[in-house]
Structure 1
Amino acid sequence: MLDARAIQCPYCGERIEILVDASAGDQHYIEDCQVCCRPISIEVWVDADDRAHVSVAGEDEA
């Protein structure tokens, strides 16, 4: 179950879209910004109602 989410790059401030797989449960991974190519730390967690939540930070902030 892939879900498109809009996030804001913590470096360049651009709004970009990522795909989140809520069926994989809680996750933490690094994905490069599609605009400035800097590494974004992405954390995904699933609540009790099976809704996915996304938090992003610069790699040095994570």
Structure 2
Amino acid sequence: MAGLHEQRISCPFCGENITLLLDLSVPEQDLIEDCQVCCQPMQLHYGVDADDNIWIDVQQA
């Protein structure tokens, strides 16, 4: 699986559901993204496993 993928998550600060655009062109990524609702920084760690399942870990940064 490669390319861009939209993923819905819940913000670890405000709990609102937001949509992120994930770049799946590499196996794993770590980045900081601000919540679109409360503007707090979220630490994202995501990737694709051997079965093409997308996984994502979202924490407060």
TM-score, with length taken from structure 2:
0.87
Deviation at 1:51, TM superposition (A): 2.5
Q: Which residue of 2 aligns with 1:26?
A: 28
Asked if the contact 1:22–1:51 (Cα under 8 Å) also holds between the matched residues in 2, the reply is no
CA RMSD of aligned residues (A): 1.0
Q: Which residue of 1 aligns with 2:16?
A: 14
Q: Which structure 1 residue ranges, 5 or more long, are not aligned?
A: none
Q: Percent identity?
A: 46
SS of aligned partner of 2:22: strand
For 1:45 and 1:28, how far apart are their aligned partners in 2? 9
Q: Which structure 2 residue ranges, 5 or more long, are not aligned?
A: none
| Higher-helix-fraction structure | 1
How many positions carry a matched residue from both structures?
59
Superposition misfits of 4+ residues, deviation over 2 angstroms = none
